[in-house]
Structure 1
Amino acid sequence: MIFLQFAILMLMILIGSRMKGIGLGLTGMLGLLIFVFLFNMKPGEPPIDVMLVIMVIVTTAATLEACGGLEYLVRLAEKIIRSNPSKIVFIAPFTVYIFCLFAGTAHLLYSLLPVIAEVAAKKRIRPERPLSVSVIASHLAITGSPMSAATAAFAGAGILAYPGALIDVMKIAIPACLAGILLACFAVLKKGKELVDDPIFIEKMKDPEFAKSLEADDNPKTAAPLKKGAKLSVIIFSVAVVLIVVCGAFPEILPRFEPGKASLVLKANGELTMVTVISIITLTASALMLFLTKTPTANVSKTSLFTSMATAVVSVFGVVWMSATFMLNNEVVIKGVLEGFVTEHPWTFAIAIFILGALMFSQAATTKTMMPLGIALGIPTPALIAIFPAVNSDFVLPGYPTLLAAINFDRTGSTKIGKYVLNHSFMLPGLVGVIVAIAVGFLLGAFLL
């Protein structure tokens, strides 16, 4: 019976991933209906904590966007990328990583992709090289950012949830992912033909308009003035990030209440959960940004980030609830099959996470689905944190928005989906980045945890 149920689970995930948008959440609920009403399976716990974290974090990032702060960050990143064009294969990915790590979202990448493609092409550097690693860097930034839903779910939403968990995740995941990005940069440094020797580029250069556009002045056009409150909103957002990190590092400074039954708000010992802390701090920061910059609240709901929040929440709701139900009703069998081998070789659990993450297209959903299983299997905390970057496998199937955007912004045609689909521009840097990050994570965990 478990094989039939697993086949249904995978079928719903595959169909949902092809539908894109909220499709994954809707097919997840269809799978849940089949499990509950046809197989009489007891429903698992819905991922309310992760949905709440996504809602508050994305709302705060959307407020930053509405106040002009996101545009300010994009301009800073653009200035850094243009500062040394000949080193763009290294400068662009690390710039993308740092800014996405700070903001907790890969949304910044979309504004930077055309800059990266333009600077590379004008220096006759194959744009595929910096573009592909930059996309992977934006994904890896999610695993380690205190402002990302995936990291918040892992460190505080009922998975690790011990005092100082957020700091442990950050001090392992951030340097490990940086090491992964560095090796990925070296891996693509000579990837593909040099641009001047590429037949596609040579053919495109026969078009006078295309050739003229690459010879244009490297300096960007005069940009529209920033909104008056842009810099102030970034300062408020920065303070919120620092406060979340401080609260995660020193939970003893937080208020304590009478011990009782654990809930979404309080732990059994009376401590505030990180979901509560993150919610209070981020939405307070949103309120201050709107008050002090005099930005209308309606502007927040019109941002692209706020619109994407609904998609993320619905997707996580359906697919994680379906997966949790499958895990709950088959926990004994799953543990019996995996426990011995995974306990002796914890790194093998990363393979299961990587495969599921490639289908789910969501780091937060993959984290909430798989990491509790890792806890149940008895995988040590340092190993689980080292494995965390494996949730960034959404590059495997070339349908993720960041991949498609990079392909579309590369006018030279060097960034592409291969003939066999999986041999696309992002596969090499993605595999190198994730594998190196996991390996370095295990090494760091042995010394730091």
Structure 2
Amino acid sequence: MLLFELVILLACILVGARIGGIGLGIVSGLGLVFYVFVLGMPPGQPPAVVLGMILAVITALALMEAAGGLDFLVMTAEKLLRKNPQRITFVAPFVTYLLIFAAGTQHVIYSLLPVIAEVSRKAGVRPERPLSISVIAAQQGLIASPISAVSVALVGVLAGLEVSLPQILMVTIPSSLVGVLLGTLSVAWRGPSLAEDAEYQARLASGDELYAQAPATAAPNAALAGPGGWGSCTVFLLAVGMIVAMGIFPELRPVYETSADGSPVRIGMASAIMIVMLAAAGLIALLFRASPATAVAGALMRSGVVAVISILGVSWLGSSFFASNEEQIVDAIADVIESAPYLFALGLFVLSILLFSQAATIVILAPVGVALGLPAHLLLGLYPAVNGNFFLPTYGTVLAAVSFDQTGTTRIGKYVLNHSFMRPGLVATSAATITALALSQLVLG
């Protein structure tokens, strides 16, 4: 029966991921119906706290987007890129990393990719170099950002092991930056220059103006430099800083009751994150007249709702499967994990390839790691392995980078897996994981 239930779980994940969008969540609902009403399995618990934190963060981001703050961030990043055209391969990934780190979502990279392609082409730099590592840098910035969905999910899981947000950031930020640096070096001199690239020269020789001209990018909006742009961005970043400060200094979180032994009981970090982010959204709406209707209709809110529905369905399905078979699962893999605990990293990597979601992967697998008794420093150290969604060239940011490069240097290879993102992705993910393992031992060991 265990094998049959596992087949249903994997089938729902594969079919849902293939449908895309909210498909992962709604197909998982079909699996839940089969589990609960046909097989008589008890339903697991949906990750209510994690979903609440994601919704609160997305709400603040959506209001910031409606006020122009997200465009202000992108405009600032674009200025940095255009100031250093010859160094675009080294500048672009770190600008992208900082942008995603501040925004907490990879969504904003779509506005940056055409700029990277245009600047590199005009500078005579092979666009494949900065584009490929920038896509990977976005994934690294996501796992390091304290307000991304995947970080929120990790905080929720590790809270039971008494691992704080500052401790997580002390590991994820340096390790992800090491990953970006080594990933950049792996492609910095990759392939011939544009002047020597046969594919690009053939396109130029064809006389097609599409290849002779840079892809069009929207002109920066001067209004974004006003209060709505920089003001909403400032409020949001201050809210992020406040959350980090409350993690570093727990005494900043108010005491709402006293425990039986007389010790103070402070508000938890999950509740603090939700309260601060909702308050930030309210301030942005009131101070900068950000339209709630525009926020709800915006791209960030749509992507957030997709994430919530997907995580709700697949994590509920996964928790139902695990809760009903916990003893068998733990007994079956405990010896393997105990003898080779680093195989857990492979599980994170492979599942993220299937789900195309780091957050959903953490929600499903991290509790399994806790149940298996993996120490907190190992769970945190292996966390960067969750960045496997570059492996198959079907992820949105990967496809966007390929399409924006009109020179043809950024490509999906003849054998599919030999694409432009494989080398920097494997180098960055491996380097970040190895570095995180060393740092987590120092921070939590």
TM > 0.5: yes
In structure 2, the residue matched to 1:264 is: none
In structure 2, the residue matched to 1:19 is: 19
In structure 2, the residue matched to 1:329 is: 324
Give percent identity, aligned residues only: 40
Q: Which amino acid in the other structure matches residue 330 of structure 1?
A: N
Equivalence map 1:425-444=2 (5 Å): 425-444=420-439
Q: Is the 8 A contact 1:152 1:274 kept in 2?
A: no
List alignment gaps of at least 5 residues for structure 2.
none
| Aligned counterpart in structure 1 of residue 223 of structure 2, from 212, 222, 225 | 225
Q: Which amino acid in the other structure matches residue 376 of structure 2?
A: T
- Indicate whether 1:283 and 2:278 are aligned: yes
Q: Which amino acid in the other structure matches residue 41 of structure 1?
A: M
In structure 1, the residue matched to 2:164 is: 165
Q: Is the 8 A contact 1:164 1:250 kept in 2?
A: no
Q: How well do the aligned residues superpose, as a CA RMSD in angstroms?
A: 2.2
> Cα offset for 1:192?
3.4
SS of 1:143 mapped into structure 2: helix
Q: Is the 8 A contact 1:100 1:142 kept in 2?
A: yes
- The Cα offsets for residues 191-220 of structure 1, whole Å up to 9 and x where unpaired, read as 334323333211211226246425x9x999
Q: Is the 8 A contact 1:320 1:369 kept in 2?
A: yes
Q: Which amino acid in the other structure matches residue 233 of structure 1?
A: S
Return 337-346 or 377-386, whichever deviates more: 337-346
Distance 1:211 1:103, change over 3 A: closer
In structure 2, the residue matched to 1:369 is: 364
In structure 2, the residue matched to 1:7 is: 7
Q: Is the 8 A contact 2:157 2:366 kept in 1?
A: no
> Cα offset for 1:160?
3.0
Distance 1:221 1:311, change over 3 A: closer
TM-score computed with the length of structure 1 as normaliser:
0.92
In structure 1, the residue matched to 2:355 is: 360
Equivalence map 1:97-112=2 (5 Å): 97-112=97-112
In structure 1, the residue matched to 2:416 is: 421
- The Cα offsets for residues 322-359 of structure 1, whole Å up to 9 and x where unpaired, read as 11111112211221122233234332210011111111
1: CA distance, partners of 2:65 / 2:281:
11
Distance 1:144 1:86, change over 3 A: same
Q: Is the 8 A contact 1:395 1:430 kept in 2?
A: yes
SS of 1:113 mapped into structure 2: helix
SS of 2:255 mapped into structure 1: coil
TM-score computed with the length of structure 2 as normaliser:
0.93
1: CA distance, partners of 2:221 / 2:275:
35
Structure with bigger helix share is: 2
Q: Is the 8 A contact 1:164 1:248 kept in 2?
A: no
Distance 1:121 1:292, change over 3 A: same
Equivalence map 1:46-445=2 (5 Å): 46-155=46-155, 157-161=156-160, 165-206=164-205, 207=207, 209-210=209-210, 212-214=212-214, 221=219, 223-226=221-224, 227-258=226-257, 270-445=265-440
Q: Which amino acid in the other structure matches residue 49 of structure 1?
A: V
Q: Which amino acid in the other structure matches residue 185 of structure 2?
A: F
List alignment gaps of at least 5 residues for structure 1.
262-267
> Cα offset for 1:260?
7.9
SS of 2:45 mapped into structure 1: coil
> Cα offset for 1:10?
1.2
1: CA distance, partners of 2:212 / 2:17:
40
1: CA distance, partners of 2:220 / 2:158:
48
Return 390-399 or 9-18, whichever deviates more: 390-399
2: CA distance, partners of 1:66 / 1:447:
42
2: CA distance, partners of 1:205 / 1:23:
41
Q: Is the 8 A contact 1:361 1:394 kept in 2?
A: yes
- The Cα offsets for residues 158-196 of structure 1, whole Å up to 9 and x where unpaired, read as 443455511111000110011011111111123334323
2: CA distance, partners of 1:418 / 1:50:
38
2: CA distance, partners of 1:103 / 1:397:
25
Q: Which amino acid in the other structure matches residue 225 of structure 1?
A: A
Distance 1:222 1:68, change over 3 A: closer
Q: Is the 8 A contact 1:236 1:285 kept in 2?
A: yes
2: CA distance, partners of 1:329 / 1:222:
54
> Cα offset for 1:27?
1.2
Q: Which amino acid in the other structure matches residue 281 of structure 1?
A: V
Distance 1:221 1:270, change over 3 A: closer
